[in-house]
Structure 1
Amino acid sequence: MAGSTSSEPPTNPTYERELPDGTIYRVVPPEVGVPVIRRWLEHDWPMTAQQALALRDELGWTPSPRKETLVTTNLGSGRPKDASITIIRNKLDSIHVWLSSFAPIDFDSITTALTQSMYEQYVHVFTDMYGNGVQKLNKDVQSTTWTLHSGASIRIDTIGSVISFGVNSPMANYAAAAEAELLEWEAADDGE
């Protein structure tokens, strides 16, 4: 899609910006992204590799010819290979999906306000569904995480002009919590 000077429709100012170099910067709006995120997040757990790949196919996502877990979605981020699915021991561990195209850092002044607005909209929608999430600001990365009763979690992240989401399985969250507990225990042991 070019700008309004082409025969194609003009960019949608709600979730697109035409950049000075003529490319289109695009963010996947919540009305498109949230239903897809919920399909992954609210699936019965554990999710087998076969179930994860079947859901990928149901969603109309295209696997890479070289690696079936590296995927191009149809969400409209404008990026090829905008999702990765991690499978460990024949179970879905996590999925990560980019919800925006990339733009050169020189264009952050044009793209960041749109990205931040979409991030806030995603946070609002998920807060309405799942209650308050855990918000973190680490250097330039802003994120909000919700953990469901199933133990699965969703995290929305943004940094500059990039926004993405990750869904972790209950087992991935359990392993991360166990690792954090071990590191805390080792740090306390070293302090004695």
Structure 2
Amino acid sequence: MRMETLPVETAVEWVTAWTGLSWPVSWETAFAIRDRLGWVADPEEARYFTTFLSRNGADGGMSTNESGMFNGIDFPLATTVIRGQKEPDTASVTWAAYESYVEALARLFDKPRTEVRRRGRDDEFRQAKWYLPNNSSFSLGARPGIMAVYVYSPEVTWADLEDQRLTEEYGENWEDFIE
């Protein structure tokens, strides 16, 4: 199955629709942005939606916090190609698009924090993450055949930054030291 990726301009439009918001974000605002981008709400649960990249139903979703408020969103920047259906060029298509998106987003949001795991393997994972002035954050994550953006509320971003701080101070298993 051939992987289709968004043009860079469209990917940037989709990302920037979510990054400059004032938090907390109302469900009304979140649904309005979803609709403006042309994404179609799931008829049974409006938090889930389909983009034109979808091949099999909902391919994006909005998360809630413990109070039921909008807490973030994830959406694809490419069609998803599952194992066993990858073409010989799936990995190269994934990484070329990923690098183009990171470069374009870095021009807008500065250099991201990056991570690469299992480099060169079939299950290689790359992530670029940006921390924004409105205290939210977003990441672009990819594996061969899969690429998605995750936008995080200030609440989730704070927890991520705190986890990084504690990991740096106490090591990877810092949770083991908390009673």
| TM-score, normalization by structure 2 | 0.81
Distance 1:122 1:189, change over 3 A: closer
In the other structure, the counterpart of 2:58 is 81
- CA deviations on 1:106-142 (whole Å, 9 max, x unpaired) are 4252211111000000100011111110000133210
**Contact between 2:139 and 2:150, CA under 8 Å: does it hold in 1?**
yes
**Contact between 2:3 and 2:93, CA under 8 Å: does it hold in 1?**
no
1:94 to 53, 69, 72: 72
Identity fraction in percent: 21
Distance 1:151 1:79, change over 3 A: farther
- CA deviations on 1:133-171 (whole Å, 9 max, x unpaired) are 000013321000011111111211111121111111112
In the other structure, the counterpart of 1:137 is 116
- Give the residue type in structure 1 aligned to 2:28: Q
Query: How many residues are paired up?
Result: 168
- Give the residue type in structure 1 aligned to 2:26: T
How far apart are the structure 2 equivalents of 1:121 and 1:79? 26
| TM-score, normalization by structure 1 | 0.76
Cα drift, residue 182 of structure 1: 6.5
**Contact between 1:135 and 1:145, CA under 8 Å: does it hold in 2?**
yes
Query: Bigger CA drift: 42-51 or 162-171?
Result: 42-51
In the other structure, the counterpart of 1:118 is 97
**Contact between 2:5 and 2:77, CA under 8 Å: does it hold in 1?**
yes
Query: Bigger CA drift: 102-111 or 33-42?
Result: 102-111
Distance 1:50 1:181, change over 3 A: same
**Contact between 1:71 and 1:82, CA under 8 Å: does it hold in 2?**
yes
- Give the residue type in structure 2 aligned to 1:80: G
Structure with higher Rg: it is 1
1:161 to 126, 142, 145: 145
How far apart are the structure 2 equivalents of 1:94 and 1:48? 11
- Give the residue type in structure 1 aligned to 2:102: V
Cα drift, residue 28 of structure 1: 1.6
- CA deviations on 1:163-190 (whole Å, 9 max, x unpaired) are 1111111121113334566776683884
List, as ranges, runs of 4+ consecutive aligned residues in structure 1 with deviation greater than 6 Å.
Answer: 182-186
**Contact between 1:27 and 1:77, CA under 8 Å: does it hold in 2?**
no
Distance 1:147 1:66, change over 3 A: same
Cα drift, residue 77 of structure 1: 5.2
**Contact between 1:101 and 1:162, CA under 8 Å: does it hold in 2?**
yes
How far apart are the structure 2 equivalents of 1:188 and 1:53? 36
Distance 1:50 1:189, change over 3 A: same
